[in-house]
Structure 1
Amino acid sequence: MHIRSNHHYPSRRSAVAADNMVATSHPLAAQAGLSMLARGGNAVDAALAAAITLTVVEPTGNGIGSDAFAILWDGQELHGLNASGRSPAGWTPKRFAGHETMPFRGWESVTVPGAVSAWVSLSDRFGKLEFATLFEPAIGYAERGFPVSPIIATLWHRAAEQLGDQPGFAETFMPEGRAPKAGEYFYSPGHARTLRLIAETRGAAFYTGEIAEEIAAYARKHDAALTLEDMAAHEADWCGTISKSFDEVALHEIPPNGQGIAALMGLGILGQTDIRNMDADDPRALHLQIEAMKLALRDAESYVADLDHMKNITVADMLDDGYLASRARAIDPSHATNFGAGAPKQGGTVYLTAADASGMMVSFIQSNYAGFGSGVVVPGTGVSLQNRGAGFSLDPDHRNRVGPGKRPFHTIIPGFLMGPDGPQMSFGVMGGPMQAQGHLQMVLRTQLFGQDPQMAVDAPRWRVTDGLGVACETTLPPETLEALRGMGHALSLEAPDNAFGFGGAQLIARLPGRGYIAGSDPRKDGAAMGF
């Protein structure tokens, strides 16, 4: 990976190179991570400080009540962490009888939040600094306030219109009866209190102590199923990774219950095509990627579930080279095909990545799913609860059918690339159904087409919707759009600043010999920073 001048796409940014690096969707969070590296911490400390800070400064995409996943290179070995929560014990299929789909908001969409367990697990196993130190920047912003950034202000305003009547939301996130405007300071003393308790107890207050009791009591008040026992039963799992190679690089993802396997399948399908003979922005190359993702997403939606419930069809079956070759043969190289692919609802997520001079690299993602998630906020705590339960199916024959103590289908996925000489790139693309599709686009742009991380991030994106539908950014050239229409794709155009549609990417790649090069998405308020 080398630094290249960006002459391809309009951008406000250049790639950043340094020995120590943090890239996040908010500059204050990136600075929080860098401050840990400056104090002698490692990439894990940096990633966690950034993640904890993001719960304060970017509540529109994540919070203390989020779920999380991570992939980490410790200098010798790759590790995968699944810190997504399970459904309450009371969530039997009977509870949702009469519903056509799972509830998308409110208490009946809330599974046990897992992000706090990710912070504890990563710090315990790999961190250098004291756990409480990681919370100092976030607690400071929650207590002293921070100026709300422009994109987040826009998202906050939209969420307030939708969620203002959800339990506890307005009390915490609508001071003076409205969402804060860009540049206004927001204060969250309840958030600071909760973070301090988590820091002091290494997470115990959140799962078995004071905060857990307040969450459970609020659930009882609203006749929700979530109990103190559900909170106490939660555990994060060191799950390893699954991978698929494309020439000399291997893309690693977290195993199901997440959609990362769709990115692997798409990459495996494309490996069976002649995409290597095309340029990055050739409409024929975009067509092959779109078709591959349609096939991969169809399978992911049909078969991915909590790994303990994926019967008959296994991960190995879905990644089998022979099977992926058969899927590749279904692609017409000159015309779009309706494979029946669909995509989950759009969502709100934060992704960050950090790397240090010792060689440690961390790919970390945490999310409330749909922006502020369920909309439920536990009074006095700053805890906005995710709505991951909406990822379950009510189909009695589906592997992902709702049930007690079960992890739902997840859209959030951290990505990691390994090369022939070790770690190549730590990256992610937040944004609901865009994530697996974004991973595919970032891998090909950086590895096959030779673009540096910022150039790859700046490039126009597309997103499979359903049937023959493809959403495209308006920055795609008119001649490219016309060529795709001529192939039979049903295009819709969206502006690049669409809050969720095309995601927000953060990439850190290793430079030859020493150091890193990073890119941060101009579609977000974030930054790549290093020293």
Structure 2
Amino acid sequence: MNFDALHYPYRSQRNVVYAKNGMVATSQPLAAQAGLDILKKGGNAIDAAIATAACLTVVEPTSNGIGGDAFALVWTKGQLHGLNSSGPAPMNISIEKVKEDGHERMPKYGWVPVTVPGAPAAWVELSKRFGRLPLLDVMKPAIDYATNGYPVSPTLGRFWKRAFEQYKQNCTGAEFEAWFETFAPKGRAPEVGEMWSSLDHADTLEQITRTNGESFYKGAIAEKIAAASEVHGGYLTKDDLAAFQPEWVDPIKVNYRGYDVWEIPPNGQGIVALMALNILKGFDFTTKESTDTYHKQIEAMKLAFSCGKQYITDPKHMGVTAEELLSNSYGRKRQALIGSEAGTPAPGVPPRGGTVYLATADGEGNMVSFIQSNYMGFGSGIVVPGTGIAMQNRGHDFSLDPTHYNCLKGGKKTYHTIIPGFLTKDNQAVGPFGVMGGYMQPQGHVQVIMNTIDFHLNPQVALDAPRWQWKSDKTVEVEKSFPLHIAEELGRKGHDIQVLVDSGSFGRGQIIWRDPETGVLMGGTESRTDGAIASW
């Protein structure tokens, strides 16, 4: 893969990183270093991914937690494996019950949108199948940070303060008291540079480690979760937790200009990125900074989302197959709908999200693309008393329309926004990539893949390049660094272009590419957050 960042007019904020023995890229320096420490102790890329992920629940709680979900793509011994560790809705929930509770749509906060957390099971499953070190060694950095504390980093502090104000306004019932006790113990969000710790969080991580997850799903922790749910009228029970198992799945792909781009199949929205690329591969792109390039990218993304929002849900309840949505004939039909003016497909309005993504690689060729989230920042606003566990609100994405494919049903998995990506060529690994952030994620995947393949940008420049995000109808948000003359020309094509100064909504990505001949690793990390690459 020949990269040339020099011709690109945008000044990259960081230098691309090269290493040979191992690399960890994620949004928080302490978590990246934790993963690297595991590599240096003899762990492999899978061990490093688990250590980094567990650590991120402590050092970046604004975006993920023990009570969230996780997905992974694992490259090892020449094969790509997919892990879906997203949890279903509680068995005894229903559209009728939620409406009887007074909701016309699934709420964001409280126990109603809480689904079974999958992240702890993902760590255990990855360790059991592919890990090299004992889970206790791998989880130790996270436990240490939760016990002894760490200074809050700049971007983390900003989002923590924003979340505190949001929850103070929206989460006023007794069920939310433990969230404020845990994440705002001084009656406010911690300041940048201020130490924060959580002994309850540390104890929960230790119990998960010591019991290989049994405590969380069938033991003492499960009892605490179920008891808190029952007290506050939630639907989640101990039986729901005990029944959960992560699923190994076959990743899905499209071939884009000789490269295979891989995603987790539905219920994840990775197929949206693949549908967009399947449309875009029918065009020739020679220049990144052109109105025509951006116009076609945006229009393809709209068309992909219109299908994704219609069909994506638990695969047992989908009306079509992934193969049908990714067929070349369907891609050509969708491509034919792109004209010279902005169109108006009809998906719902994408909300914002909160997620962490990490990529790891070791000197043996193992690589991991891993993502986990509580959704919408801290999630539901629920912390299970005495555990430090912030519960996700993934159920918010369910529809209460019984005719919709993604309608709420007990035991069903919802449309899921978090998606890890992976790139291969000629059956060899190129590497993991991801861009976190709600419905920005497939849009970010398309942009960084095209930056890489079509425009030959190295990983850091591919990430630093100004991003756009389609929101709804003809509305497209762009970063302040987006070329103004192109924004104006897109406006003349009918796009409603809105320039955002500092929204934090354009996603946060990581990339690691591997040279198949030399084994040299090349990484880029997100300049829009406290991103870091640890390598050796």
TM-score calculated relative to the size of structure 2? 0.96
Q: Does 1:119 align with 2:126?
A: no
Taking the aligned partners of 2:427 and 2:323, their CA distance within structure 1 comes to: 25
Which of 451, 457, 475 pairs up with 1:469? 475
Taking the aligned partners of 2:450 and 2:240, their CA distance within structure 1 comes to: 41
Deviation at 1:4, TM superposition (A): 4.6
1:282 is matched with which residue?
290
Deviation at 1:162, TM superposition (A): 2.0
Q: Is 1:3–1:15's contact at 8 Å kept on the other side of the alignment? A: no
Taking the aligned partners of 1:345 and 1:94, their CA distance within structure 2 comes to: 24
Which of 230, 234, 250 pairs up with 1:224? 234
Which of 3, 22, 25 pairs up with 2:24? 22
Taking the aligned partners of 1:240 and 1:21, their CA distance within structure 2 comes to: 26
Which of 36, 39, 44 pairs up with 1:37? 39
Q: Does 1:309 align with 2:317?
A: yes
Which of 258, 261, 269 pairs up with 1:259? 269
Aligned positions of 1:90-489 closer than 5 A: 90-97=92-99, 98-164=102-168, 165=172, 166-274=176-284, 276=285, 278-311=286-319, 313-332=320-339, 334-489=340-495
Taking the aligned partners of 2:530 and 2:32, their CA distance within structure 1 comes to: 11
**What is the identity, as a one-letter code, of the residue corresponding to 1:490?**
D
Taking the aligned partners of 2:369 and 2:272, their CA distance within structure 1 comes to: 18
Bigger mean CA deviation after superposition, 336-345 or 399-408: 336-345
Deviation at 1:71, TM superposition (A): 0.5
Taking the aligned partners of 1:250 and 1:421, their CA distance within structure 2 comes to: 8
Taking the aligned partners of 2:136 and 2:215, their CA distance within structure 1 comes to: 13
**What is the identity, as a one-letter code, of the residue corresponding to 1:457?**
L
Q: 1:267 to 1:343 in 2, by over 3 A?
A: farther
**What is the identity, as a one-letter code, of the residue corresponding to 1:203?**
G
Deviation at 1:492, TM superposition (A): 0.7
**What is the identity, as a one-letter code, of the residue corresponding to 1:112?**
V
SS, match of residue 438 in structure 2: coil
Q: Is 1:2–1:511's contact at 8 Å kept on the other side of the alignment? A: no
Taking the aligned partners of 1:95 and 1:320, their CA distance within structure 2 comes to: 39
1:83 is matched with which residue?
85
Q: 1:80 to 1:512 in 2, by over 3 A?
A: closer
Q: Does 1:58 align with 2:60?
A: yes
SS, match of residue 21 in structure 1: strand
**What is the identity, as a one-letter code, of the residue corresponding to 1:118?**
A
**What is the identity, as a one-letter code, of the residue corresponding to 1:75?**
K
**Cα deviations by residue, 1:158-202 (Å, 9 ceiling, x for unpaired):** 111122432411110001111101000001000000001111011
Taking the aligned partners of 1:508 and 1:8, their CA distance within structure 2 comes to: 23
Q: Is 1:342–1:465's contact at 8 Å kept on the other side of the alignment? A: no
Taking the aligned partners of 1:110 and 1:322, their CA distance within structure 2 comes to: 39
Provide structure 1 residue ranges, at least 5 long, that are not aligned to the other structure.
none
Deviation at 1:421, TM superposition (A): 4.8
Q: Is 1:167–1:375's contact at 8 Å kept on the other side of the alignment? A: no
**What is the identity, as a one-letter code, of the residue corresponding to 2:350?**
P
Taking the aligned partners of 1:92 and 1:341, their CA distance within structure 2 comes to: 24
Deviation at 1:516, TM superposition (A): 0.9
Taking the aligned partners of 1:522 and 1:41, their CA distance within structure 2 comes to: 28
Identity of aligned residues (%): 48
Taking the aligned partners of 1:103 and 1:240, their CA distance within structure 2 comes to: 32
Taking the aligned partners of 1:421 and 1:76, their CA distance within structure 2 comes to: 8
**What is the identity, as a one-letter code, of the residue corresponding to 1:290?**
I
Taking the aligned partners of 1:214 and 1:515, their CA distance within structure 2 comes to: 47
Bigger mean CA deviation after superposition, 431-440 or 6-15: 6-15
SS, match of residue 183 in structure 1: coil
Q: Is 2:310–2:347's contact at 8 Å kept on the other side of the alignment? A: no
**Alignment root-mean-square deviation, CA:** 1.2
Taking the aligned partners of 2:134 and 2:292, their CA distance within structure 1 comes to: 52
1:506 is matched with which residue?
510
2:524 is matched with which residue?
519
Taking the aligned partners of 1:515 and 1:75, their CA distance within structure 2 comes to: 17
Deviation at 1:439, TM superposition (A): 0.4
Deviation at 1:56, TM superposition (A): 0.2
SS, match of residue 426 in structure 1: strand
Deviation at 1:481, TM superposition (A): 1.0
Q: Is 1:75–1:358's contact at 8 Å kept on the other side of the alignment? A: no
Q: Is 1:294–1:342's contact at 8 Å kept on the other side of the alignment? A: no
Deviation at 1:494, TM superposition (A): 1.0
SS, match of residue 456 in structure 2: coil
**Cα deviations by residue, 1:348-371 (Å, 9 ceiling, x for unpaired):** 000000001100110000000110
